Amino acid sequence: MSNVPNHEFYFSTNRFLWLSLIPKEERDDLFPNATSQIPKELVTTSVFCGKFWIDPIVNLSASERKLTAERAWFGIRTFVKGSHIAEHIARAGLTEQNFAQLGEDPSIHQVYRGQTVDYFQDDELRVLVSIYNKYSNWLSNESKYDEMDIVRRALIVSRSKPGLWNKGEGSLATLDETQKMQVVSVLNMSNENVFHKKDAIKAIESKKFESHVKEKYVKFLDSWINQKERRADGVYSHNGIKIYKKRLSNKDRMLFSWVTCSDYNQGEPFLLIYAIIFDHDSVNSYLGEKLDVSVKDFETNLENARIEPQQIESFAHTIGNGPTKPLPGRINISALNDLDMPHNIALDEHQRRAIVENQPLLIDGLAGTGKTAVLSRRAAFRAGYAKSNSKILMLSSNNGVVKRLLQDVSNLAKNEQYWQKNNREFSHSLITISFQDNQIPDSTEVGIDEASSYHKFDFDEILLDECQDVTPLEFEVLKIFVKFNDVRRYSFGGDPLQTLNPTGFDWGRIKSLFVNSIGKNKSESELSSIAKGIKISKFHQNYRSQGDIVSLANAIQRHRSRAVSSDDLIEMIPHHPGSQPPQLLQINPKSEEDVAAVTKALLESGLGRVTAICWATDDHEVIKLCTGDDSDEILQQVWDTKQKENKFEDTDFRTALELHSSASIKGGEKHAVLLYKFGSSHEKKLDS
């Protein structure tokens, strides 16, 4: 047993990781309450725009206000406090000379011209200097701080420990092409002999799916996969793909196809289950609704026919809602119980190759394209196939995303059936930094002050999800946590369309951070060679949402591209067909019936299949919308009702009320969402 490697997986939010570098006494003095989920002293986008910007004591001039609050926050966070000269600015202050765009001077600490010229004109940078200096004074007077203050302090503390910055040089293991293909072929850990569409999953989770029918269903799956000749009754052909039905009981029927797809099951045939219907008389009406055809068009005369597999290009060419899920293990009832778990996905070939081909791994992934799942899989395989002990750190700015990473890795690492099949044996530990997840009882929580004594700044790889919000300052601090300070051991996943903090995110800027770090003191030709070797994997196929939702998202993106005169138009490709168009509901605030219906929906958010999201940028703004002087009348009523039922602290409101902001919902997967007053409450914000 002593020869079996042990792998340690660490999980943390970015903020808690930075705080773990700062001694407690210093941390409590400089950043009070920073370890709470919603620190009252922490300045976020909404606090900057909603408090600093309108503070009469700050007294911003007309020319300063013309820049708009959002653009000012973007400039300060990205090009000043989050820049490579942040330490110098904190010591000496910010002047116009610190921007090379306003006059290059090699003798002065400067923000590079190329970083700012696409975002600010010269006179706007001069105004930004003035706003920054007022903001610095306001922070001091109000005893507040922002995220970049924490990062900068963490960097200063780390500078006092030279050993963290001088870890020597070490090699980075790589795979040849044959080895890569071998790993790619085994990266899918689920049973791809059977896939289920969303309607089938809902039926399996239903109380109507009785135990004796479930047993018969499992028996059918097992016999179908293992027999040489397969027979069923024909029902209909959609896009040339035949749909069959099978009798499970006197009243229960299942609908399926027998298909092949080059992306899945290594090209071998698999069952695609569309639905399980608990009333055999409803089969035709179900198909009529899904296919938009009349009953008379159904081909019901094909009985007990011999079935041959048919080729499909993707699940988008078949009926039914997504996401489409494989079986998470052997064909048995236990596998059905875990069918809808987030980690239970089948990666396509493009995703699998990205995991093994690139170091660093950079994923340009739009919403629902699987970047979080790929990062989790990367972590599990990075450890599972290591020959010796390893340490992996998984990060995100969002606590919900970190918990999703924890849950995914936990399930992947515990998949004993898979690891045994591939002759891998190891032990593992799941360590969370200052948070608990009751769904993962075998994880171990360590406090912020003891975290470094566990990991010892010796991670084999760091995986950062939602990297679109990362600044150059954070990129720099991360180096001290990884072996040999080697940024090739980073794996980043990000979505340029989902920045929660304005950073001017683009992959070219992120790539330049890697190039300049890897190629420090290298010649221009060497830097060019390094840049060519850093690949960005693009994930634009949406596996999460049905086609109508993807179409809406693409339409919004096209509108955004026109509104901000952007040539960078990126659209998602739906993996699943449309089934239910989004609905726009107009509320009459003078109608008691309308108000009561909306209030009920908000009060019940998260209790059923619908989750509510309001137009707030972050949780500070959620609290303001529910309790402030300018609060939303319906949201305040919902808040007050929940307070009477179960009193809670403002900063812990989501224990009683599942109401989300743009930030808190990040990475979440919900059956259905209610967007409350989106588009009707953004007049001022749209100006910027």
Q: Can you tell me the mean pLDDT for 61-86? A: 94
pLDDT for 294 equals: 53
Residue 688: pLDDT band (50, 70, 90) is very low
Judged against a pLDDT cut of 80, whether residue 238 lies above it is answered with: no
Question: CB under 8 Å to 149, separation ≥6 — which residues?
Answer: 30, 31, 81, 139
Q: Can you tell me the mean pLDDT for 149-171? A: 92
pLDDT for 475 equals: 95
Which of 181-195, 463-477, 629-643, 673-687 shows the lowest mean pLDDT across its residues? Answer: 673-687
Rounded to the nearest angstrom, the gap between the alpha carbon of residue 370 and the centroid of all alpha carbons in its chain is 8
CA distance 503 to 148: 12
Report yes or no: 407 and 476 within 8 Å, Cβ to Cβ: no
Judged against a pLDDT cut of 70, whether residue 135 lies above it is answered with: yes
Judged against a pLDDT cut of 80, whether residue 1 lies above it is answered with: no
Q: Can you tell me the mean pLDDT for 352-367? A: 88
Average pLDDT, the chain: 88
Pairing of strands 390-396, 427-433: unpaired
Judged against a pLDDT cut of 90, whether residue 124 lies above it is answered with: yes
Which of 43-47, 309-313, 581-585, 665-669 shows the lowest mean pLDDT across its residues? Answer: 665-669
Judged against a pLDDT cut of 60, whether residue 681 lies above it is answered with: no
pLDDT for 496 equals: 76
Q: Which residues of 311-333 are buried (b: 16+ CB within 10 A; e: fewer)?
A: ebebbbebbbbbbbbbbbbebee
CA distance 176 to 512: 26
The DSSP letter of residue 330 is S
Task: Please name each of the domains of the chain with its CATH number.
Answer: 6-14+347-539 (3.40.50), 27-164 (no CATH), 189-337 (no CATH), 583-686 (no CATH)
Sign of CA dihedral 293, 294, 295, 296: negative
Q: Can you tell me the mean pLDDT for 4-25? A: 96
What are the tens digits of pLDDT across the range 472-520? Answer: 999 999 999 999 999 999 999 988 777 665 556 778 888 989 998 998 8
Most confident of 70-84, 161-175, 347-361, 534-548: 70-84
End-to-end CA distance of the chain: 61
Judged against a pLDDT cut of 80, whether residue 545 lies above it is answered with: yes
Helices 371-384 & 349-357, crossing angle to 10 degrees? 50
Which of 94-108, 201-215, 456-470, 648-662 shows the lowest mean pLDDT across its residues? Answer: 648-662
pLDDT for 230 equals: 83
What are the tens digits of pLDDT across the range 439-449? Answer: 888 899 999 99
- Decide: pTM greater than 0.85: yes
More confident: 242 or 427: 427
The CA distances from residue 531 to 96, 250, 519, in Å, are 31, 64, 9
Which of 166-170, 381-385, 482-486, 569-573 shows the lowest mean pLDDT across its residues? Answer: 569-573
pLDDT for 591 equals: 92
Q: Can you tell me the mean pLDDT for 605-610? A: 81
Number of residues assigned to the chain? 688
Residues of the chain above pLDDT 90, percent: 49
pLDDT for 628 equals: 79
Sign of CA dihedral 314, 320, 324, 329: negative
Judged against a pLDDT cut of 60, whether residue 296 lies above it is answered with: no
Residue 597: pLDDT band (50, 70, 90) is very high
Residue 566: pLDDT band (50, 70, 90) is low
Question: CB under 8 Å to 237, separation ≥6 — which residues?
Answer: 243, 299
CA distance 68 to 65: 5
Judged against a pLDDT cut of 50, whether residue 31 lies above it is answered with: yes
pLDDT for 283 equals: 84
Judged against a pLDDT cut of 90, whether residue 101 lies above it is answered with: yes
Q: Can you tell me the mean pLDDT for 97-117? A: 93
pLDDT for 370 equals: 87
Judged against a pLDDT cut of 90, whether residue 271 lies above it is answered with: yes
Q: Can you tell me the mean pLDDT for 543-549? A: 84
More confident: 293 or 383: 383
More confident: 81 or 238: 81
pLDDT for 193 equals: 93
More confident: 440 or 9: 9
Residue whose token pair is 């200063």: 156
How many CB atoms within 10 Å of residue 206? 11
- Secondary structure of 143-200 as H, E, C letters: CCEEHHHHHHHHHHHHHCCHHHCCCCCCCCCCCCHHHHHHHHHCCCCCEEEEEECHHH
What are the tens digits of pLDDT across the range 398-420? Answer: 888 999 999 999 999 998 888 98
